[in-house]
Chain A
Amino acid sequence: MRLIKIPENKYYEYRIQAMFDCYKWDPQFCDKNTLSKYVLILTKTENKELISLTEKLDKETRLAEEYLNKNIKIAKKLELPKKILKQIPNMQSYNKNKNIRLMRYDFHPSTDSTWVVTEVNSDCPGGFAESSLLPNIARNTINMPELEYKSFGEQMVEVINKKLNKKWTIMMVHCTCFSDDRQVMQYMGDRLKMEGYNIIYGAADHIKFKNKNAYCILDNNQVRIDLIFRFTPLEWLIQMKPRRWDGYFNTTTISCNHPISIYAQSKRFPFVWKDLEKAGISMEEWKRLLPETLEVKDLSLKNGFIYKPVYGRVGEKISIKEACKDEEYEKILQDVKKHPKQYILQKKFQSKPLKSEDGKEYHICIGSYTIEGEHAGYYARMSPYPRIDSYAEDIPVLIEK
């Protein structure tokens, strides 16, 4: 694995291209440019290893979630939001062959030369365009046409084409007030539109369910929906008022993702592994790759462990002291004290930084996608400190032949 720097004199144009050709509409976060000045190169062996690990993890995850869906007593240990827990009986009609299952596993290189997986983005992983288009722009910019990459978007299109008629309607469900959500949906929507699908952009509450089928209610777009492509996280969806989100849980409309995604999205997922193994579901890969995870039982922070929120996103509220800004660390500890059940303890691993050609060190997180159990490309981020959060930079991934 190595970093190649984008030449200084080409970076401005590269950034513009990322914005206009690659749906990178959020290249700045506060004072931080979030589009890396580097390209990440994986060796063929590293790529092969990551693909293998990703697919093994995915197999375990999918078997686990199907089992949990049928065994509510065990699923209760995940401390799912009450509103979701109540929906489990409605999810019994879930058909894995009908829906499209998309996940992204976060891999980190560690100092003992192994990979560590810190979580799976099971519900609504993003970064589609960064995975699908940015590597090509980067490859041209550094003039290394021999490097390869797997496009997430192309694989998604392939899977959708197998399940849908190209004349059908796909609704890209997202939080319409956030342009950074829209950029994810817009890339996928534009790409699917090229295939011939009717694409509708809307919010979660722009769908009404009738006889378990989804219908769009937006003016002049009142049609039956054939695929719900959801980028609104379930924890947000269930806050929606007026309440009409129940339909998402038992709809017969094809969904990507179906709410079954909530089981592995919970960081308490490891707490049910013993039960899963008793039922004959191996969690070997997960056990090997995920740092030890404990419940927050007392409030004395265990030495060598960090707090992570059960439903955290983009590195928020993770108590890695050296990565926290201002009073953030103290505030997280206060929050843990108030809401211990909303956090888990995870053993802190030693992230191995990667040195750039110009001597700078960066910590890397490689998000490895799966669609229907198959590896579907990478979305990577890097940070000067060992936490990948909103200040982290997006870095395209290319692979040696």
Chain B
Amino acid sequence: MDGRELYKIYAPAVAKWIDWVHPVPFVAIDTYNRKPIVDWIDRKAIFLKEYQQDAAIFIDLPGKESIELGIDLAHNGYRPIPIFNGTDEQQGSQATTDTYLIESCLINGGEKLKNIKLENDANPAFLLDSYRTNRYRAKESIFDNSWDLYKQDIPSAEYFKQNGITRIIVVGSALQPDLKKIFLKFQERGMDIYITDGYLSPKKIILAKTIKERLEKEEI
């Protein structure tokens, strides 16, 4: 299965939310001839008791875990929407983030996803790599392929609400700064933000700007 066929599994023509599936890792699967991984783990979304009609999920775990958990959420009725956006490093150089593993793991995930029957209007479970913002370079010759999630990479709060979604559940150890920036605006627009480590029930959090954030020039 090539990147294009795989993309169509994650983003079938008839389904909702598929416009946000980022093509970058799928294109790379073809460019770099990626193969499936051998150590796939079938994870369980323990934090979720049942499908929640009013919630969208953002899985912010290391890329492989994110995809593995995303597939279990598909079993629970959620559509996994990969929004990985990191590019591959120059051949031969070292990179700050690992895109290979994500690209390979998407192949395993796609093979499983094609056998799962999902409703066309299934709520989204956005898949992120929590290592995406790792931009520490031990030496200057390292290729920085870290990336941030921006508000333009996902639906707006208005769009979520128009589609019956009023709650965002983040699965991750903490809310990363790029997500906080986006979800602060979501909160201002009347959405509730929840967080879970992937095991415990999601807890509502109230986001507030730090003094530093308040002093930062607001983006127009």
Contact = CB atoms under 8 A, between A and B. Distances in A.
Interface string A155-190: 000000000000000000000111100100010000
B122 interface: no
A299 interface: no
Contacts of B155: 30-31
A134 interface: no
B27 interface: yes
B93 A221 contact: yes
Contacts of B152: 29-30, 390
A224 interface: no
Nearest to A29: B152
A219 B156 contact: no
A102 interface: no
A25 B27 contact: yes
Given A31-B156, A33-B19, A200 B140 contact: no
Contacts of B23: 19-20, 24-25, 27
Interface in B72-107: 85-87, 89-94
Interface stretch (A70-78, A250-258, A327-335, A379-387): A327-335
Interface stretch (A87-95, A202-210, A269-277, A366-374): A202-210
B141 A219 contact: yes
A202 B24 contact: no
Contacts of A221: 90-93
Contacts, number: 97
Interface stretch (B3-11, B39-47, B61-69): B3-11
B218 A331 contact: yes
A218 B92 contact: yes
A317 B7 contact: no
B165 to A, nearest CB: 13
Contact of A16 (B7, B24, B94, B218): B7
B147 A178 contact: yes
Given A20-B3, A221-B90, A28 B19 contact: yes
A316 interface: yes
A179 B87 contact: yes
User: Which size class do B's interface residues fall under?
Assistant: 35 or more
A25 B218 contact: no
Given A176-B87, A179-B147, A219-B94, A20 B27 contact: yes
A370 B3 CA distance: 34
B24 A30 contact: no
B220 interface: yes
Nearest to B154: A30
A284 to B, nearest CB: 35
A316 B140 contact: no
A390 B19 CA distance: 16
Contact of B159 (A12, A19, A31, A200): A31
A218 B154 CA distance: 33
Contact of A217 (B141, B144, B145): B141
A335 B218 CA distance: 10
Nearest to A21: B4
Contacts of A179: 22, 24, 85-87, 147
Contacts of B181: none
A317 B220 contact: yes
Contacts of B135: 177
A335 B220 CA distance: 9
Nearest to A185: B87
6 contacts: A12-B13, A16-B4, A25-B24, A29-B152, A201-B89, A332-B220
Interface of B: 3-4, 7-8, 13, 19-20, 22-24, 26-27, 30, 85-87, 89-94, 135, 140-148, 151-152, 154-156, 158-159, 218, 220
Task: Give the 3 A-B CB pairs with smallest separation, nearest first.
Answer: A220-B92, A19-B23, A218-B93
